[in-house]
Amino acid sequence: MAEEIPELSMAVWPGHRGQGVGSRLLTLTLEAAAKVHPAVSLSVSVSNPALRLYERFGFEISGEPEGGSVTMCKTF
């Protein structure tokens, strides 16, 4: 990714998954990032259910999977 595009990293404690915590965290993070960055990226395992969450939020896979993970990017 380009130097001006930060990479996000976040996690939700296992006992809190599936309760909307990740969606809320991602919503707030993207709102803040959109004010100062042209885009954001993240890496996620292709087997991680969160991949579908990122797609719903407009992230697109960029490049080929490497080692079971993909890089995703969201442009504002």
Residue 50 lies in a domain: yes
Q: Which domain holds residue 51?
A: 38-76
Whether the CB-CB separation of 4 and 37 falls below 8 Å is answered with: yes
- Mean of all residue pLDDT scores within the chain: 94
Residue 46 lies in a domain: yes
Per residue in 51-65, pLDDT (tens digit) is 999 999 999 999 888
Per residue in 9-21, pLDDT (tens digit) is 999 999 999 999 9
Total structural domains within the chain: 1
CB-count exposure of residue 36 (10 Å: 0-12, 13-18, 19+):
exposed
Across 27-41, average pLDDT: 97
Which segments of 1-76 does DSSP mark as H helices, in order? 21-34, 50-56
Q: Shortest CA distance to 40 belongs to which of 71, 65, 66?
A: 71
